[in-house]
Structure 1
Amino acid sequence: MKIRFGYVANAVGLWDASPSKTLTFTRYSTLPKKERMERLKFITAQNLQHTKRILYYNIAHEIEVYRFSSSLVPLATHPEVMWDFLTPLKKEWKEIGDLVKHYKLRVSFHPNHFTLFSSPRKEVTMNALISMDYHFKMLEAMNALDTGLINIHIGGAYGDKKQSLDRFHQNLKKLPKKIKKHMTLENDDKTYDILETLTACEKENIPMVFDYHHYVANNGEIDLPHYLHRIFKTWRNTNIVPKVHISSPKSDQAFRSHADYISLDFVLPFLKMAKELNQDFDIMIEAKQKNLAMLRLVEEIAAIRGVKRISSSSVEW
C-alpha cells in the first residue's frame, strides 16, 4: 500500500508567498474606475506567482499532492464584478499548468462552505453554480483537468434531511456535466455522515473524499471498515487513486477545529484499518502548520515497523 501526502494552499516558511491576497469589494468600489481592473489583475498575478513558488517548493520536496487556494482571483464571483481573469493572465495560468503536468502533481480545489446544492433558496444554488464554474475555469486554464478535482460538501439539513438530500440531487442536475465530472463529495463534521455522503456519491456516480476527523466528530459509531471499501470504490471510474482528509482535533473542547499538527495516535487507527484493504490512496493534511505538519507526520509514520519511506512525502506499508 502506497500513501502520498499533501497539504493545503500555503507553504509555511516561504517568505511572503500567500496565494490568497485579496481586494474587498468595498476597497474596489473606492478606486477610480480606470484603476479597478488593473488592481484586480495585479493581485491575481501576484497570487499566481506565489502559487508557482509554492509548486516549486513542492517539487523540490517531492510533494505531489496539493490543494490550490480558492482565493486566487479576488472578486471573481462577485455579482457586480465577475471580470475576465483568464485572458489577460493566460501565460501565468499556463505556466502553473505546465508545472502540474510535467511533474505529475495531483491538484484540487475546495470551494467555501457556501458552495452547496441542498439549500431551499434559489440564489444559494445559483451562487454554487457560479462558484463551481469559477473553479472549473481555473483548472481548465491550467490545462489540469486530467486529475484536477473540485471538492464540496452536501450542505445543510434545513430541518428536514431527507427533503434536503432530495433537493441536493435535484439541484445538482443544473450543474453542467463537464463540471460535475470533476466534482467530489466529502462527509462533514455535523450534518451528513459517511453513510449519507457515500449513498449520495453512489447515486450520482461521484467520487467520495473521506474525512477521518469529520467521521469521528459526526456519528463515529458507524462501522468504518464495513464502508471504507465502498468509499474507495467510488473512485473506480477515475484515473486517480482515492483521497482522504486527515486532521486532528485542536482540543476536547474544540474537537471540530483543526490542530496545528497531526496527532499520530489520533489517525493511526484509520491507517491500520486502511492497510487491511491494501489500496493505494492519497492523504490531504488539513492542519494549521500545513506542509510542516505534513512532513512531521510522514516522518512519524515512517518510523512505524513495516513502513518504508519512499520519498519526502510518501510511504509504503
Structure 2
Amino acid sequence: MKIRFGYVSTAITLWDASPSKTLTFTRYQLLSEQDRREKLLELTRLNLQHTLRMLYYNLAHEIELYRLSSSLVPLATHPEILWDYVTPFQSEWKELGDVIKKNNLRVSFHPNQFTLFTSPQAKITDNAVIDMEYHYRMFEAMGVKDRGMMNIHIGGAYGDKVETIVRFHENLKKLPPHIKRVMTLENDDKTYNAEETLIACEKEKVPFVFDYHHHMANLCETPLEQLLPRIFQTWDHVDHIPKIHISSPKGEKEFRSHADFVDLEFILPFLKMIKEFDQDVDFMIEAKKKDQAALKLVEDISKLRGYKRVSGAAIEVK
C-alpha cells in the first residue's frame, strides 16, 4: 500500500510565487480599454509562470499530487468580460501540460464555494456551470482534460436536506456530460456528511473525495470503516486511485478551521483504519503551511513503525 502526498495551489517555500494574483472588477473599470487588456494579460502570464515554477518545485521534491489554483485567470467568468484567456497563452498552457504529462503528475481544481448545484435560484446554477466550464477549459488548454479532475461540495441545505438533495440531482443535469466525467464530490463539515455525500456520488456515478477533517466535524451514523469500501469503489470507473483530503483542527474552539500543519495524532486513527484495506490512496494536504505541511507530515509518518518513506512525498505502508 502506498500513500502519495500533495498540497494546494502555492508552495509557500518559494519567494513571491502566488499563482492567484488577481484584479477586482472595480479596479478593472477604472482602467482604460487598453490598460484593461494589458492588465489581464500581465496577471495571467504571471500566474502561469508561477504555476510552472510550482510544478518544477514539485518535481524537485518528488511531489506528484498538486491542486492548481482556480484563480489562474483574473475575471475569467465575469459576465461583463468573458475574455479569451487561451489564445494569447497557447505556448504557456501547453508547457504546463507537457510537464504534467511527461512526469505523470496528478492535478486537480477545486472551484470555489459559490459553485453550487443546490440553489433554488436558476442563476446560481447557471453560474456554477460557467465556472465548471472555465476550469475544464484550462484543462483543455493544457491538454490534460483526460487526467485532471475538479472537486466541489454538494452545497447548502437551504433548510431542507431532503428537498435540496433532490434539487441537486436535478440541477446537475445542466452540467455538460464531458465536464461531469471529470467531477468529484466532497463531504462537508456542516451540511452533507460522508454518508449523504457517498449516496449522492453513487447515484451520479462520480468519485468521492473523502475529507477526514470534515468527517470528524460532521459525523454520520454509519461507522467510517463500513463506508470506506464504498468510498473506494466510487473511483473504480476512473483512471485514478482514491483521493483523500487531510488537515487537522486549528484548536478545540476553531475545530473546523485548518491548522498550519497536520497533527499526526489527529489523523493516526484514520491511518490505522485505511491500513487494513491495503488500498493505495493520495492525500491532498489542506493545511495552511501547504507544501511545508505536506513534507512535514511525510516525515512524521515515516517515523512510525510500518511506514517507510519511498520518495520525497510518498510513504509505503507495510
The 2-side partners of 1:171 and 1:10 are apart by 32
Deviation at 1:70, TM superposition (A): 0.4
The 2-side partners of 1:174 and 1:152 are apart by 15
Where structure 2 has 5 or more consecutive residues not aligned to the other structure, the ranges are none
Residues 195, 220 of structure 2: 8 Å contact kept: no
Partner of 1:59: 59
- State the AA in 2 paired with 1:250: K
Matches within 5 A, 1:1-317: 1-219=1-219, 222-317=222-317
- State the AA in 2 paired with 1:183: M
- State the AA in 2 paired with 1:234: T
Secondary structure of the residue that 1:316 maps to in structure 2?
Answer: strand
Q: Which moved more, 1:124-133 or 1:32-41?
A: 32-41
Cα-to-partner distance string for 1:37-87 (whole Å, 9 max, x where unaligned): 111011000000000001000001100000001000000011111111011
The 1-side partners of 2:296 and 2:185 are apart by 28
TM-score by length of 1: 0.99
Cα-to-partner distance string for 1:215-246 (whole Å, 9 max, x where unaligned): 00002554000001100100000111000000
Identity of aligned residues (%): 62
The 1-side partners of 2:176 and 2:13 are apart by 39
Deviation at 1:34, TM superposition (A): 1.7
The 1-side partners of 2:206 and 2:221 are apart by 24
Cα-to-partner distance string for 1:112-166 (whole Å, 9 max, x where unaligned): 0000101001111011000000000001111112220000000011011111100
- State the AA in 2 paired with 1:277: F
The 2-side partners of 1:34 and 1:147 are apart by 37
Deviation at 1:12, TM superposition (A): 1.2
How many residues align? The count is 317
The 2-side partners of 1:77 and 1:222 are apart by 40
Secondary structure of the residue that 2:14 maps to in structure 1?
Answer: coil
C-alpha RMSD over aligned residues:
0.7
The 1-side partners of 2:117 and 2:76 are apart by 20
Change in Cα spacing, 1:220 to 1:167, as seen in structure 2 (3 Å) is closer
Secondary structure of the residue that 1:185 maps to in structure 2?
Answer: strand
The 2-side partners of 1:151 and 1:41 are apart by 27
TM-score by length of 2: 0.99
Residues 5, 313 of structure 2: 8 Å contact kept: yes
The 2-side partners of 1:97 and 1:222 are apart by 41
Where structure 1 has 5 or more consecutive residues not aligned to the other structure, the ranges are none
- State the AA in 2 paired with 1:16: D
Deviation at 1:102, TM superposition (A): 0.5
The 2-side partners of 1:204 and 1:253 are apart by 36
Residues 5, 283 of structure 2: 8 Å contact kept: yes
Residues 66, 106 of structure 2: 8 Å contact kept: yes
The 1-side partners of 2:222 and 2:41 are apart by 48
Cα-to-partner distance string for 1:78-112 (whole Å, 9 max, x where unaligned): 11111110111111100000000001000000010
Cα-to-partner distance string for 1:252-273 (whole Å, 9 max, x where unaligned): 0000000000000000101110
The 2-side partners of 1:150 and 1:196 are apart by 20
- State the AA in 2 paired with 1:29: Q
Deviation at 1:168, TM superposition (A): 0.4
Deviation at 1:308, TM superposition (A): 1.1
Runs of 4+ in 1 over 4 A off after TM superposition: none
The 2-side partners of 1:221 and 1:106 are apart by 33
The 2-side partners of 1:220 and 1:201 are apart by 16
Q: Which moved more, 1:168-177 or 1:31-40?
A: 31-40
The 2-side partners of 1:307 and 1:191 are apart by 34
Secondary structure of the residue that 1:173 maps to in structure 2?
Answer: helix
